[in-house]
Homo-oligomer: A and B are copies of this chain.
Amino acid sequence: MYTPAEAVEETGFSLDTLRYYEKIGLLERVDRNAAGQRRFSEEDIGWLGTLRCLRETGMPIATMLRFAELVRAGDHTVPDRIKLLEEHDRQVQEQIANLIERQDYIHHKISYYRSLL
């Protein structure tokens, strides 16, 4: 079990973000201690790792939410989860290709400026 501060440390999300994710249903009702303070399970931390990966690769919250719902709905949604991740993977691939192309332009621009010195 992780205290809120530990969960922040482990996941890299701010505490406000963790509460927000719980509020909107990205994170299922997190356990509480007697005083009502959150105690994140190992599983929560793992799931937050997945969320972090999706988020950092640009998946919108709404799509993450759909994914979360699929996960909650049980094993029969595995094919749908694959579809969702594959689609996302394509978008990540596009992002990478786009960045590399634009980076090339930036390199040319830098070279050009260097040639002026």
Contacts and interface: CB of A to CB of B under 8 A. Distances in A.
Interface string A95-117: 11011101101110110011011
A1 interface: no
- Assembly stoichiometry (copies): 2
Say what secondary structure dominates the interface of chain A.
helix
A93 B103 contact: yes
Interface of A: 50, 53-54, 56-57, 75, 78-79, 81-82, 85-86, 88-89, 92-93, 95-96, 98-100, 102-103, 105-107, 109-110, 113-114, 116-117
Contacts of A56: 98, 102
Contact of A53 (B86, B106, B116, B117): B106
